[in-house]
Copies of this chain bind each other. A is one copy, B any other.
């Protein structure tokens, strides 16, 4: 029989938090790094994983450089890969009265979520890794989920 808390065997802790976003532009990149950092601290998990995901399907959570030139490049690049077009004959999704089909495509390139390790009670990241929310269809309230699991 093993008992949690003894030597190398430990028990699970979790923390769950929804972060509300309200981006005034249609598209924008918003840092959520500090907030995730703070929640990891609050969780008291020293060793585990944190999942950070967009709860909406026209937005992404991703990790990359905190550099405005690059963010500009992402925006132009995604617009080239998956251009905005409200015309329902171009994107069938827009037959439903929406105009955001492009946002659903862009989000797949940048991803829905990141999973980050927690070690010694902190986000275990490389020197330039920074956690961002990417809004592709803003001007309304949306949520990001932070789920921490570990010991």
Which A residues form the contact surface with B (CB < 8 A)? 1-6, 8-14, 16, 47-49, 51, 53-57, 62-65, 67-70, 72-74, 77, 81-82, 91-96, 101, 104-105, 107-117, 119, 124-129, 142-143, 145, 147, 149-151
Contacts and interface: CB of A to CB of B under 8 A. Distances in A.
Identify the interface centre among A14, A72, A92, A107: most chain B CB within 10 Å of its CB: A14
A109 B109 contact: yes
A117 B49 CA distance: 11
B8 A13 contact: yes
B112 A114 contact: yes
Contacts of A3: 1-5
A135 to B, nearest CB: 14
A74 to B, nearest CB: 7
Contacts of A56: 126-129
Interface centre among A10, A11, A114, A124 (most CB of B within 10 A): A11
